[in-house]
Structure 1
């Protein structure tokens, strides 16, 4: 009890010092004792902080916050022909544009009469006031002597050591009812009514109101998510058409007919799927999986893979244009340089005791020695190597697949003729293994995901990044590396490794050596694509349900803004050739996610601290990299995972009757093994292109194998070059910044210079007229660099 009381007294003294220092800065504090009854524990006190005009003006000057100085005089030509078609999707004008359009310039307190200041109470929007107050809280000391311990400052440290329980901006009203006071803002109510309700899913998002209330960082997230969802509509339509094409050509699937035929597939005896316990089985047992595979593995798959390579380029290029427009409208054009130079992280300032001269600002600033950086980077590299844990888990899942595969396959140990009655036509070892392994893999992904989120934050904190932007970028890269390996490794295994290193009867390849008795997995005679589709559907859909039900996007917890949608973006681009319906599922999910996220943000959570961001940060480069990688992965999926190329080679070069059809393809794609080599007396078939027993090159690859391999490599090269050429041409044709935005930026910069010049001249004339009362005066020439050509004026002494 005594220690507890001492601790309490110490914390109380710390609070007093901190609050006293806040008042010295100019903030007004109001302790709400009567709100104790409203708190959960009956003991919590609330301190409300008010920022008067003088404080807001001072720090708006320090932070170079842009404010209006002239109404925008450029005509708005955004109205499109037949604009009435979009009327059902529009929101009221006062919601979409809560503020008039102005030209803006960085605020200068000494020239406050230059700006359009009407009501000082509402001149700075809520998000700006929010950001200024938090900026002060982050840098205010809780030590009596300003020259004392430099570590003892900032609200984050006070929260970490238990001095305060929480620090957050208040919402302006209840979300379900407008404020009774007409002079009070009710933007939260407007956001709930027009944005956060699910039945508004078809309406446009009030991005300007979101930005005004929550800040640019939250605004840019919802802008990106909304734009991404809009672009998904086109990909979803094309993907659905490709799926429908596969469904309509269902009956033209000649190779599936041969597999299902009692005369062909029913008489082909396949080699055992595992050692000892597995028996022989008939090919027609895979009838259903071959039909299902055709829905996704058809000519439309190639077209859709090429289309998505072009779609992702259009998406990124049009997003750059949309982002450039938002940067201008939200006064973020020059924000990155401002942030890097002025907004050092409090943690960096307190932990870096060394100082050096900044060549840009010519001021002494804290810095981290190279030796310390090296140590932190070594720790980071070692920590990132923990990715090996993910890889180990994936290997474990693969081992599970092999073991379960053998278990399911052992059901066929009876004689081949009874297989259909024992197993049933709808269940195959491949299907059972793929579904169960995908479910287990999804659970492992979610568990590891929770751990690696914290690891990424911990590593980034150890590196002590200099600015908020640098912190976000470092955290983003680490988060992406963890998430990439965690989410996509299982899909990469099924797409590019399963069935590729199997060997053949009598010389199989084993995962951990022959002693493990775990033979590498084989693909179904209909191909591995249907298993990749199963893996993709389970992981992608499960992840979206998990995120939607459990939590908000990680943006509001200080982790990266676009983390969750970018992982989804990877699923629909990297592996879309295996599942054309992926964009449709993503579209449905995102329509729901926008409203669920907005509902949680507006109604269920405390108002987050406003922050500025002019873009989606490092995610932009990550998206560009994934767009390039998606072309490669989809080309390889079509070439090596799909059976498209072997079928085309057979049809054009190996069709024995010289006809352009697929008759005889299944028999041609299966090699023969002499069971007498293993003390038996008949032949079994396996999926490969090898010479039959008795041939001088028995069990070596045939020339058809090499022809198919050459065709696959040729297809990859041709597809990549075609898509990349189109991508680069499209990127060259579409400028990153719209012409009207470029003109507005130039117009604004010109007006800032002109108006400031006129302002200085008028101010100087007034000063001269006040000093000159008719008598002679001694004048000294004064040079004002802001005037054109350094115009020389005279000022009376």
Structure 2
């Protein structure tokens, strides 16, 4: 894909520009300074290969880069890559063979290539001594000295979009080995997914596959507990099921950490914060901060002034985040909580099952709109925060939006459990929520992108017929790049500013995990429904990414981030909620007496909380081979730097002696 080893160039980026205007007498309009022609010339000068494709209403510039061009861009960006001696060093084209390759054999990952493409495309600036006049269809505008050409053309509406293109060969291979491979229902070519989509999507599907495989155990046990009548032993079976489920969930997350560490080692990704995720301090990017001596000189010679500046920045950032969290919490309590309790009360009062189902559908549609609106408000609040890097900003958004969804998903169920203690109604609510929510997310994943794509194709055909005045039959799209342009982007429902479409996929998974865990004792069969849904979800999400959506913009990620903390929180909540469910089952009269059975439940709760936190000590977060490899790399780095330091010191001493002589 990098054009190495004699491979054919693959066009990975597309730029959408207006079609060339046709003369009245035939032929294309040719005028000096045509901005599209200037753009093509400048892209060629940067070493990029351009393929021009004319669509129905627009023209597309397909961009490819040889390995040498990407290597030069990587060197200019000082992209740090792991070497064969275990040290991460800034890339240099002359020493390319010393750097480790990707799992697919390419020199650069998709994320690194995309960064290089951005640098090459947006790095075209006017280096002349004066402004350049650009023209397009009678319009004129100036390209100022030192200004980016692409950004100028984007502001003028000449470049409509710049987006990644699918690689047809690799896309079809992934369709065969991933989307259409049903023989092993949890098998996924994770290395290929990482190479094609990047680390963030690769980590997500690795977690989804592991979670689905591990779900087989609680699904089988839950099916037996739900369907088999154990008679008087039922009160003993449920606590055992409860204990096993909590231990299963805690082990799942702990072993996921081990798998995550192994993936990062295999993909040569160091879990560190890079320059692109720069910290901000006093208005400066952390990566561009001066050395300590210069910083002290800037702030003053007194250490107290330096300390005060750091403390002021730290506490002001905490205050802003705390203020925004309070706003979200108060909004939930004052606005959403009454709405949730009103729904729960109506559901309890209504006697018809059909009306209950209709009420649940209407309720879910309304709260989906409320949550998306709340998510957009959260984005605006986060933009006013002082977060250390882009990852912290994204995590802050995840916590706020999940708080909204957590309230709307579970508060009505808590109402049935704690106030009415109606287990029959509780099971009905759980079944309806699981089925309706899974159907909703499936329709959102598959149908909505396809409907958007179909509508956009209809609009383009209608516009083409209107321009040509043709009354011919159906107009066909001859170019693949135009079809990809009309496909929806992989974006989050709350906006693409901080998160991509994985936000919604992770949110769906977290809500499902909370639903099946927190009410496991009331409805053990929920694990079966969740397992079937996840097996289907792996393939439908693969088809969505490969067929109905554009190729996503790669994002840097080493873990599942805040979602792991949310899952840990849900396990703790499930210990509390399932203990409350068991108490309700044992204490049918509602007197809350501490009898032997109730005392045993309280004891189980405390033991499970201790075990949940103790398992993190029993199960190491890194496999032994990953730790050994890391230690080996650190040792090699220390040896190399020590030898280099000794040579430098020896050279300086020798030069001083020669001067003295």
Task: Verify same fold: TM over 0.5.
Answer: yes
Equivalent residue, structure 1, for 2:277: 343
Tell whether 2:642 aligns with 1:746.
no
Tell whether 2:618 aligns with 1:733.
yes
Tell whether 2:63 aligns with 1:48.
yes
Deviation for aligned residue 1:217: 0.7
Specify every segment of 5 or more residues in structure 1 that has no aligned partner in the other structure, as ranges: 71-102, 174-185, 254-296, 409-428, 500-522, 647-668, 670-687, 689-704, 762-783
- The verdict on how the C-alpha distance between 1:644 and 1:739 changes in structure 2, with shifts beyond 3 A counting, is same
| Mapped partners of 1:588, 1:163: distance in 2 | 48
| Mapped partners of 1:156, 1:486: distance in 2 | 42
Equivalent residue, structure 2, for 1:548: 442
Residues 480-522 of structure 1, C-alpha deviations (whole Å, 9 max, x = no match): 112111211211211223x2xxxxxxxxxxxxxxxxxxxxxxx
Equivalent residue, structure 2, for 1:613: 557
| Mapped partners of 1:58, 1:735: distance in 2 | 39
Aligned counterparts, 1:461-540, within 5 A: 461-463=383-385, 465=387, 467-497=389-419, 499=420, 528-540=422-434
Say if 1:138 and 1:153, in contact at 8 Å, map to a contact too: yes
| Mapped partners of 1:491, 1:392: distance in 2 | 14
- The verdict on how the C-alpha distance between 1:138 and 1:571 changes in structure 2, with shifts beyond 3 A counting, is farther
Deviation for aligned residue 1:69: 2.6
- The verdict on how the C-alpha distance between 1:203 and 1:228 changes in structure 2, with shifts beyond 3 A counting, is closer
Say if 1:220 and 1:615, in contact at 8 Å, map to a contact too: yes
Aligned counterparts, 1:182-221, within 5 A: 186-197=169-180, 199-202=182-185, 204-221=187-204
Residues 214-264 of structure 1, C-alpha deviations (whole Å, 9 max, x = no match): 110110010111111111111112211211333x54xx79xxxxxxxxxxx
- The verdict on how the C-alpha distance between 1:566 and 1:372 changes in structure 2, with shifts beyond 3 A counting, is closer
| Mapped partners of 1:126, 1:574: distance in 2 | 39
| Mapped partners of 2:623, 2:273: distance in 1 | 22
Aligned partner of residue 215 in structure 2, secondary structure: helix
| Mapped partners of 1:150, 1:466: distance in 2 | 33
Specify every segment of 5 or more residues in structure 2 that has no aligned partner in the other structure, as ranges: 1-17, 22-31, 132-142, 299-309, 447-489, 493-498
Aligned partner of residue 48 in structure 1, secondary structure: strand
Aligned partner of residue 84 in structure 2, secondary structure: strand
Residues 573-601 of structure 1, C-alpha deviations (whole Å, 9 max, x = no match): 11212110111111111111011101111
Equivalent residue, structure 1, for 2:449: none
Aligned partner of residue 106 in structure 1, secondary structure: strand
Q: 1:398 aligns with which of 323, 344, 349?
A: 344
Say if 1:61 and 1:106, in contact at 8 Å, map to a contact too: no
TM-score by length of 2: 0.70
Higher relative contact order (CA 8 A, sep 6+): 2
**Aligned residue pairs, count:** 550
| Mapped partners of 1:353, 1:376: distance in 2 | 20
Aligned counterparts, 1:765-784, within 5 A: 784=644
Deviation for aligned residue 1:356: 12
Deviation for aligned residue 1:443: 3.2
Say if 2:516 and 2:527, in contact at 8 Å, map to a contact too: yes
- The verdict on how the C-alpha distance between 1:448 and 1:123 changes in structure 2, with shifts beyond 3 A counting, is same
Say if 2:128 and 2:145, in contact at 8 Å, map to a contact too: no
Say if 1:434 and 1:535, in contact at 8 Å, map to a contact too: no
Tell whether 2:329 aligns with 1:329.
no
Equivalent residue, structure 2, for 1:718: 603
Deviation for aligned residue 1:14: 12
Say if 2:445 and 2:540, in contact at 8 Å, map to a contact too: no
Q: 1:644 aligns with which of 563, 566, 586?
A: 586
| Mapped partners of 1:456, 1:151: distance in 2 | 36
Say if 2:166 and 2:550, in contact at 8 Å, map to a contact too: yes
Deviation for aligned residue 1:118: 9.7
Aligned counterparts, 1:9-408, within 5 A: 26=46, 28=48, 30=50, 32=52, 35-36=53-54, 38-39=55-56, 42-46=57-61, 48=63, 50=65, 53-59=68-74, 62=77, 64-69=79-84, 105-109=88-92, 112=95, 115=98, 122-134=106-118, 162=157, 164-173=159-168, 186-197=169-180, 199-202=182-185, 204-246=187-229, 249=231, 298-333=235-270, 335-338=271-274, 341-344=275-278, 358=289, 378=323, 381-382=326-327, 385-387=330-332, 388-401=334-347, 404-405=349-350, 408=351
Aligned partner of residue 724 in structure 1, secondary structure: helix
Task: Kindly name which structure, 1 or 2, has the bigger radius of gyration based on alpha carbons.
Answer: 1
| Mapped partners of 2:375, 2:358: distance in 1 | 26
Say if 1:138 and 1:155, in contact at 8 Å, map to a contact too: yes
- The verdict on how the C-alpha distance between 1:394 and 1:114 changes in structure 2, with shifts beyond 3 A counting, is same
| Mapped partners of 1:191, 1:216: distance in 2 | 16
Say if 1:309 and 1:723, in contact at 8 Å, map to a contact too: yes
Equivalent residue, structure 2, for 1:290: none
Say if 1:239 and 1:580, in contact at 8 Å, map to a contact too: yes
Residues 259-309 of structure 1, C-alpha deviations (whole Å, 9 max, x = no match): xxxxxxxxxxxxxxxxxxxxxxxxxxxxxxxxxxxxxx7442222111111
Equivalent residue, structure 2, for 1:598: 542
Aligned partner of residue 332 in structure 1, secondary structure: coil
Deviation for aligned residue 1:13: 9.9
Residues 175-227 of structure 1, C-alpha deviations (whole Å, 9 max, x = no match): xxxxxxxxxxx322221110011524525211111111111011001011111
